[in-house]
Amino acid sequence: MSDKISVAAQISLEYWVGQDVAGVVYENMPVDPVYTNELALAIRSDDGDGDPRRPVTLGRPQVHLAGTSRALEELGRYLIGLARLQTLDPDVHDHFEDVQNEDGGTVHLVIRLVKPPG
């Protein structure tokens, strides 16, 4: 195994900012990532052979996320922005409908910010 290194990175997080009104409207949200059409998802069985025809009900499922460098970087920037979002919204989530399905077509990807318990 290689040596572990740490590299500092500076990123810009972009947000839509408005006036959150509890129970009425929530306007604070990270700006959507670009290149989501260059991301791909697949769900496979975790039995080791990776056969896409094998039912996912055998063993636990694997979720494969693949993408171009720029798509993964934009998604990562978006996820950090979402994690740091200041909002009153109790159900922060976003929809991306152009993510590729490795088995053909597209996937409707929903990303949700879950509040920690307590």
Q: What is the pLDDT along the chain (118 residues), one digit of tens a residue?
A: 899 999 999 999 999 999 999 999 999 999 999 999 999 999 887 776 656 666 666 667 889 999 999 999 999 999 999 999 999 999 999 999 999 999 999 999 999 999 888 7
pLDDT at 81: 97
Distance of alpha carbon 116 from the chain centroid: 18
Residue 40 C-alpha from the chain's centroid: 11
**To which residue do tokens 């039995």 refer?**
47
pTM for the model: 0.86
Output the pLDDT for position 60.
77
Find the DSSP H helices in the chain: 69-83
SS3 70: helix
